[in-house]
Structure 1
Amino acid sequence: MKKILYVVIPVIVFSIIFVNAFFGHLIFLSETQQVMNKYSVYVHLLSDWQSDSKNIVFEVSNSWHKSDKRNDVNHVFDAESKEYNTNQLQEINGKSFVELKHEFSECQEEWQPMLYRKAVDTVRHEIEYVQGKQLSTDPDISVYPNIENRNYDNLEQQSKIKNGYAQFFPICTSKETTSYDYSVKTDNKDLGFDVYFVSSSTQRENFTSSEFDYYIDSGCFGQNKQSYSGSCKNIQKDSGLLIIFPDELKPWITKVTVNLYEVN
């Protein structure tokens, strides 16, 4: 009997993992109107950047409300029809970088996180809450403490980011005007980041000039932070979050965690 269990139990466990990995987004769809999308963006800075570290990883969670659609149409995301990765050689501030991101980053509707990842994220959330690194008790919503960069002042930060790297993250919404809660943190203890809610992705090219335009209401931006959470209201459909780092990254890799959550 024991020998049979030694075979049966691993088979059952493997089957659950297999089904969840390939079909979890179909089985475990949310019964609410909230959709959650998790993806990563990997950035490699080429040799013309001054940073010792040439690698930045953005871990992104984006939650938004489903649009009202006809019930007789299947809007579930078809993972098999998508290219999962795209390499994009780009340039900013006259310096080149390669961006690798998933197709999931383009606001695919009806996509849900796989159950095992949701369980891991919930446990991680609870641990961070006990440690004081997380202020929200809701495992689906992250709120990080407001931690200033103490290595140098804000005036120096604004000078540093003029030659820095900027990453844009679009919001996902079916509304023309909406509101978003957001949180950002980095494991880089040497530098601060700036974060702004901006009107469109074109502001990624404008942040070094007088044409840079962002939402100026309280909570819509943060400067020279290592951890920050805010709430921005009455933002337009094409808006998004812009995160900027100085070109002085030193660790082998800098990890940035980004959370976007649409508010009713």
Structure 2
Amino acid sequence: MKPRQSDNKTPSLSDLVQCEESSSSLSDNDLSAQFSLSSAPSYVLSIGFTKEEAFKWSGISKDTVVMEEASSLEEAVKKHKEIGYDIFILRAFAYQDLISFLYQVKTWDITPSVVVVYKELSSWEISFLYRAGCGQCIYEACGWEEEVKQAVLRLRRLRQIEKENERLKVGLTEANNRLKEKNRKLNEFTAVVAHDLRGPLAGINMKLEYIVDEINNLAKVEIKKLLESALFSTERVLEVLRCLYQITKESISIKER
């Protein structure tokens, strides 16, 4: 079996939540219809029984689940490193082996959900299995096959929600980074504009103050020269403002396209 590829199409979070609320026991076909899961199957590894047995007693559709099998926990670890499964279904293993395996699962980069089918476990052992990370423990009694099926469907929905949340998180992070970059450029632009305006305005202010203070001591020629210089500085300010207006106008035009 080749290593799994990432799904091309991920259902939206609203679709997932709507499906979760609509029914607590959706059939495999119903789930496939709502999510188009045939194009995005879950990868399930059965450990302790064959995949043919799993398909037979669970009723899970082969269109929505890629089922593989492993004869031992060691083989399961090896296969998971190659494929990266979504769900493990374990059956007929010693309690201590299950605990060790569950704690090992927590250290993996891709952590699968785990369903344990058991015959002889005490209540405190089951409690410890859940604390160790077990997704669901199912007692092997009448109707346990249907419980496994529903557990797989539920865990599939949860994992899809997790994937969608992760996708949204990545999108928000990228959007925040783009916003930070835009703010940085805006701050740089604002600093440049402020610098280009401050110089001419300071010159105008200085010349006008000088004229006001020395109006009685200045000849008309000197006053005219100072005013012409102030007028030139005013034209520089207007040119900066015209450029700023043009940039803003073009930016608005691009956003409206």
TM over 0.5: no
If the length of structure 2 is used for normalisation, what is the TM-score?
0.23
Higher strand share: 1
Q: Which has the higher contact order (CA 8 A, sep 6+)?
A: 1
Higher helix share: 2
Q: Which has the larger radius of gyration?
A: 2
